[in-house]
Amino acid sequence: MRPRCSSGQAAVEYLAVVALAAIVFVVAGAFVLDGRAIAAATAAQIRRGLCIVEGHDCADPHEPCSVSSRGSGDELHVDVAIVRLGGGSAALVERRSDGKVAVTVTDHLDLGASAGVGKELRAAALASRGHGATYEVADERQAAALLRLLHRPKVDPSLYTPAVRAYWRRVEAVLPRIPAPSSKYRQIEGRGSLSADLVGASVVAGEREDVITGRRTYYLSGELSLDGAGAANGQVAVTLDRAGRPVDLAILAAGELTAPGDLPVAFQSVAGHVSAGVGRTWELEGHLDLTQPGRAPIRSLVSQPARLVQTMLDQGSVQMRSYGARADTVGVEVQGLELGGGFAHTTSSRRLLAAMDHTREGFWVPRLDCIQAA
């Protein structure tokens, strides 16, 4: 077992490395995605290596795509002077290209402070602690049943009326029991934001631990929004295995795609293959396996964004996707001199429009498994 002080030192060290990378990326204009750094498994590379050794013509295997999703979430906060107390919960049902349906449920508690300078400038800092779990089911009927079972009131069944008892029998006929989660995490993060009349920016630093695998991901995200000119956001992340060894370096980016020019300059070559228009978004996901022998040190990679992107393209896995997306929020906000608060309910949906994969030979090719599933 690693000493606690050694593990803590590693956490600080890797978070500092990620912070350096994210700062450089934001300055360079390569924005990164909020709170969604998910380490790529190395099993795909292992399978590919065995396939090549056996003399086969091997396709590079990939994780399945998200071809459609729908979600909802609630946020509640109370403001006392400059202090904010809040929290929220959300659920996401995601259909994947391998035919499976993933259900993710999350919740979090927040504590922060905000202050205004004049009438236009506002700054805020927020600390958040949350956890969540992802389950895999066969179809969307089972996904709906799972969400009902997860939120089932803790009431003695003997107190049910006949109608309520019949309702739960119908739910259990679709999904007899709650499956074991495929992943389960806990997360701590801090957020700082600054907003003015026409521009807003935020930076998020955090740690996420998968309690099933023992892996820890340290990430730093940035987001920039311009009034009338859309928004872009993204993330740089390093994942360590249970023993504290780095296994994955990820860059994630996303933004609105109203025109092909909204894509980052480094990826304009794929602009003709993704669909631009109103209500459309783009996502870029890149992973670099850090367990490969001869891999350059993390610091040397993240301190040079151009080199990191090229290394990802040459040696890693890079995918570009576009989605038709929609989000609607209904809420109420009350503000007084010393006391205020608010509640918001958000629903969202998206559908895959295009998926491209970058090959080691330097070409962008369609992800036919994703497109056909969509």
Domain boundaries, the chain: 4-88+112-132+186-373
What pLDDT is attached to residue 30? Answer: 37
Taking the C-alpha atoms of residue 301 and residue 137, their distance in angstroms, rounded to an integer, is 38
Please write down the long-range contacts of 168-171, taking CB distance under 8 Å and 24 or more positions apart: 171/145
Q: How far apart are CA 191 and CA 125, in angstroms?
A: 6
Q: For 206-242, write each residue's pLDDT tens digit.
A: 999 999 999 999 998 888 776 655 667 878 899 999 9
Q: Report pLDDT for 263.
A: 80
- pLDDT confidence of residue 232: 74
pLDDT under 70: residue ranges of the chain: 1-62, 117-120, 226-231
**Angle, CA of 48, 52 and 55, to the nearest 5°:** 145
> What would the pLDDT profile of 309-331 be if each residue is shown by its tens digit?
788 888 888 899 999 999 999 99
What pLDDT, on a 0 to 100 scale, did the predictor assign at position 199?
76
Q: Distance between CA 175 and CA 298 in Å, rounded?
A: 45
CA distance 37 to 25: 16
Residue 227: its pLDDT value, please? 61
CA angle 25, 30, 35 (to 5 degrees): 80
CA distance 271 to 7: 43
What's the DSSP call for residue 374? -
Element at 373 (helix H, strand E): helix 368-373
Residue 103: predicted pLDDT: 96
